[in-house]
């Protein structure tokens, strides 16, 4: 079965500092990994995805994520945080070997960027 864990419920970072939101996953085949962001009272918005190839994936709004197969991780990063980055972030995974169309989401990490 596929699963994903976001070990931190909340991450606080000062504006201008680098930020990292952590995600680890478990799959039986190859992982397809996604990050989504949710602003208050809105639906989720796609940020970036890893399918195959380069381990460093670049996405929207200056975010990037690093795929690490040995550590089964897909951490979201940004070099310099903005107050407007404050939101709820979700990691999601689909197992290429599962034969299922379902996407499994983590429980979310609330990012607060402090001015």
Partner 1 sequence: NAGVTQTPKFQVLKTGQSMTLQCAQDMNHEYMSWYRQDPGMGLRLIHYSVGAGITDQGEVPNGYNVSRSTTEDFPLRLLSAAPSQTSVYFCASKLDRGFHQPQHFGDGTRLSIL
**Residues of this chain that bind partner 1 (CB under 8 A):** 9, 32, 34, 36, 41-46, 49, 51, 90, 94, 96, 101-103, 105-108
Minimum distance, C-beta of residue 16 to partner 1, in the bound complex (Å):
29
- Pair of tokens at residue 96: 């290429």
Q: Which is nearer to partner 1, 65 or 108 (CB)?
A: 108
Minimum distance, C-beta of residue 17 to partner 1, in the bound complex (Å):
26
The answer to whether 33 touches 93, Cβ cutoff 8 Å, is: yes
Minimum distance, C-beta of residue 89 to partner 1, in the bound complex (Å):
11
Q: Is the dihedral of CA 76, 50, 103, 72 positive or negative?
A: negative
Q: How many CA atoms lie within 13 A of 42 on its CB side?
A: 11
Q: Which is nearer to partner 1, 9 or 115 (CB)?
A: 9
The answer to whether 38 touches 52, Cβ cutoff 8 Å, is: no
Minimum distance, C-beta of residue 4 to partner 1, in the bound complex (Å):
9
Q: Which is nearer to partner 1, 68 or 100 (CB)?
A: 100
Q: Which is nearer to partner 1, 13 or 34 (CB)?
A: 34
């Amino acid at each position: 079965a596929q699963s994903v864990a976001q070990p931190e419920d909340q991450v606080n970072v000062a504006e201008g500092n680098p930020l990292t939101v952590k995600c680890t996953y478990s799959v039986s085949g190859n992982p397809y990994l996604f990050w989504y962001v949710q602003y208050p009272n809105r639906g989720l918005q796609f940020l970036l995805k890893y399918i195959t190839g380069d381990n460093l994936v670049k996405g929207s709004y200056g975010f990037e994520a690093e795929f690490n197969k040995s550590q089964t991780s897909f951490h979201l990063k940004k070099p310099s945080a903005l107050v407007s980055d404050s939101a709820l972030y979700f990691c999601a995974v689909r197992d290429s070997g599962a034969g299922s169309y379902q996407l499994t989401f983590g429980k979310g990490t609330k990012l607060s960027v402090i001015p």
